[in-house]
Amino acid sequence: MNLGELLAASARQHPDRVAVVWDDGGRRRTYRELNERTDALAAALVDELGVRPGDRVSVMMANRPEVLEIQNAVWRVGATISPLNPRYTAEEIQFIVNDSGAEVFFAGADVANTVLPLAGQLPTKSWVVVGDAPDQTEGYTYEELLTKHTGAQVPPPETTDDDVAWLAYTSGTTGRPKGAMLTHGCLTFVGISWLADLQRLEPEDVGLVAAPLTHGAGIMSLAFVMKGSTQVIMAAFDAASFLEQVAAEKVTHTWLVPTQIKMILNSPKLDGADTSTLKTIVYGASPMYVEDLREAMARIGPVFVQLFAQTESPMTGTYMGEAP
């Protein structure tokens, strides 16, 4: 199946359920709204930017709901998304985009000053800036593209399970980053296995996105979209803000790296925080000290699930849950 249809299915089943929350709870978008914006962007990709099945589309920005719209729109037109870490240097951007041959580049306002000056050095034909970028001289603005194509739809491509959906660059080996080709079939399986084993979600559950959507969190978001659950998006991680969001939005599930868990344990806000709604905190990507885990379980609860994986898997290999 085409991964872009997962969002459309949840929009049909739960149109008025909140899909995303951001700006510290100040803004919300329903599944109907998220899906309509994704439809408009898919139409813009085809009609305005000339994207065709198999084309690569680069995305580089801090966490924001537009990342979900972009990845789903890219899939809906049969293209491949190639996300970049917002912390990449100009040299790293040049290598990855030249290697992928990306036709279109979506740049957040937070990275526009790094990315746009590279326009003449990359194979990219079209540039789209998401947010208000100072001194923008290249390309389109995101909201203008959506407004121009509101209400439009594109016919679904003939996507197969073997078509590449996500070109994930990993530096897990020596030398230059290598593009792991993750297919529609592979990522569908990842979403289903995530629901079966790691976080058994219900539509009423709420996930807190505290890791980059341009990396593992973007792939893991598939499980939440499959179930029509709400995702609360943090633009940047802060322990105090994390604890506030957990309490305010009644967060049930999240994914963290051990460094983030340590920052939460060191936060003076933890002792007075309400974390009672949390059902699981999946963690991984680096070693977790046993004493830190013991402290976390004592102060937050027996909600921790350790994940072992790699980008090529992707993100799921095996896990260690609560001891019997």
Q: Map out the domains of the chain as residue ranges.
A: 31-183, 186-320
pLDDT tens across 123-167, in order?
999 999 999 866 666 689 999 999 999 999 999 899 999 999 999
Class for the domain spanning 31-183 = alpha beta
> In the prediction, which pLDDT does 138 show?
67
Mean per-residue pLDDT over the chain, rounded = 92
End-to-end CA gap in the chain: 37
Q: Could you tell me how many residues make up the chain?
A: 324
Spatial strand order in the sheet of 206-209: 27-30, 18-22, 230-233, 206-209, 253-256, 280-283, 304-308, 318-320
E strands in 111-249:
126-130, 140-141, 164-170, 178-183, 206-209, 230-233
pLDDT tens across 35-81, in order?
999 999 999 999 999 999 999 999 999 999 999 999 999 999 999 99
Average pLDDT over residues 198-212: 91
Residue 93: both structure tokens together:
């951007």
pTM of the model as a whole: 0.94
E strands in 195-263:
206-209, 230-233, 253-256
- Provide the CA 294 distance to its chain's centre, in angstroms: 29
> In the prediction, which pLDDT does 137 show?
62
213, 255 Cβ separation under 8 angstroms: no
> In the prediction, which pLDDT does 36 show?
98
39, 25 Cβ separation under 8 angstroms: no
- Residue 83 to residues 16, 97, 195, Cα–Cα distance (Å): 29, 10, 24
The architecture (CATH level 2) of 186-320 comes to: 3-Layer(aba) Sandwich (3.40)
Q: What angle do CA 322, 208, 188 make, to 5 degrees?
A: 75
Does the pLDDT of residue 318 top 90, yes or no? no
Q: Is 186-320 in the same CATH topology as 31-183?
A: yes
